[in-house]
Amino acid sequence: MDALKKLFGGNSRQFGMIFALVALIILFQILTGGLTLTPDNVINLFNGNSYILILAIGMVLVIIAGHIDLSVGSIAAAVGIIVAIAMRDWGLPSWVGIILGLVIGAVIGAWQGFWVAYIGIPAFIVTLAGMLIFRGVNQWIGQSNTVPVPKDFQFIGAGYLPEIGPDTGYNNLTLLIGIIGVAAVVFFELRSRREARALGAEVPELWVTVTKLVLISAAILYTTYLFATGRPGTSFPVPGIILGVLVLIYGFISSKTVIGRHVYAVGGNRHAAELSGVQSKKVNFLVMMNMAVLAALAGMVFVARSTASGPFDGTGWELDAIAAVFIGGAAVTGGVGTVIGSIVGGLVMAVLNNGLQLLGIGADRTAIIKGLVLLAAVAFDVYQKSQGRRSIIGLLLRGAGGGRGGTGTTGTPLQPDETTKTSEVLAKDA
């Protein structure tokens, strides 16, 4: 146990959802007779859930700010049908269609953000109205028909890294990404260790660092192997590239920038943040607008993978995205959550759904099980907090992509005076 505490930073409970994800993978690998960790299944699992993970990135910022967005599925469907018709009837190139979709998403987000931020209508009501409005837009513009999209547009949702270089029996670009990933992990871990030592902070024993790096590197390399050894014509999917870029960008924004810290401040205590100079209306406007842009992107990725836009696209997506965020450690009251945690939460739901499908479990029982998992994850976290203990999912990956959001160093919610101090720091950043 002491070794585990050293290895996982003194409190292995904060990695509960990662352990749950690993446990689910191992469980379904056994129950399905090895079908879970086959290259084709891993690629299909990732492709089939990439749009939900994209939504989760935007949704976590909305929830951190203290809101909820019920319109993302309808926005994705509306943008998808408009872009598909524009490319079919107007002859727009695919890249223009993608830009058009993002612009439409930004306009929709600005519309909803205006009502939330400047009129003061709760986001729940605004986005509930948006869910009805933009679902109607999808049905009206598309006339409830399916509209195909061109081949080159399909690349963003169903494309793979090309084959280049010598014939190694693997996809060389996928291998290169895996190697770069391992090198980055090693570099940043060693740099963090060196900086801590220079500042006179306590540094983990060398064996702890080496063991951690070996475990993480092994996971990255095995995942790389699975993606690089799929059936001919497949490799690391393009939606994975899009998702990876978004995780890097939004992880940096949420943890290293002024606007990211302001989002946490507004969600933790809006009045204290305003007193310290944070422009809460601007923050609320931006998070709602950003969510709509990512919903538009998710819709286009889904349409590209499906090869056509249809009248039932986006149905229930908002619930999957919200579930991923809460399972990943976000707090219902706002101020807490991480981008990485939301991705882990989304992967937990994806693996659970995929494993149940491989076992032949019907959609009815799958929905029941997923609902119980969501309820159990949040209920257990609430129980931990009510007992004055550290929150397991609330502390998930503390320090990575928003560790300062709404919790103190012990993992308990910030008190009003603590939030005020935090907001004072944020005001200085501004």
pLDDT at 384: 63
- pLDDT tens digits for range 232-243: 888 999 999 999
For residue 394, is pLDDT > 90?
Answer: no
- pLDDT tens digits for range 258-288: 999 999 999 988 889 888 888 999 999 999 9
| Spatial separation of the C-alpha atoms in residues 411 and 403, rounded to whole Å | 9
For residue 134, is pLDDT > 80?
Answer: yes
Per mean pLDDT, which range of 41-45, 390-394, 414-418 is the poorest? 414-418
- pLDDT tens digits for range 304-334: 999 999 999 999 999 999 999 988 888 887 8
Which whole-number Å values give the CA distances from 377 to 285, 348, 374, in the listed order? 30, 11, 5
Helix pair angle (238-256, 280-306), 10° resolution = 170
Alpha helices in 257-313 (DSSP H): 258-268, 270-275, 280-306
Which long-range contacts link 239-245 to residues 24+ away (Cβ below 8 Å)? 239/46, 239/47, 239/50, 239/51, 239/156, 239/157, 239/301, 239/305, 240/46, 240/50, 241/161, 242/50, 242/54, 242/156, 242/297, 242/301, 243/50, 243/53, 243/54
Sorted by sequence, the CB contacts under 8 Å of residue 241 that are 6+ apart come out as: 161
Burial 189-209 (b: 16+ CB within 10 A, else e): beeebeeeeeeeeebbeeebb
Tell me the pTM: 0.85
Strand partners, 237: 160
- pLDDT tens digits for range 56-106: 999 999 999 999 999 999 999 999 999 999 999 998 999 999 999 999 999
Q: Rounded to the nearest 5°, which phi and psi values hold at 147?
A: -120, 115
Strand partners, 407: 413
Taking residue 4's Cβ as centre, other Cβ atoms within 10 Å add up to 11
pLDDT at 297: 97
Mean pLDDT of 378-390: 64
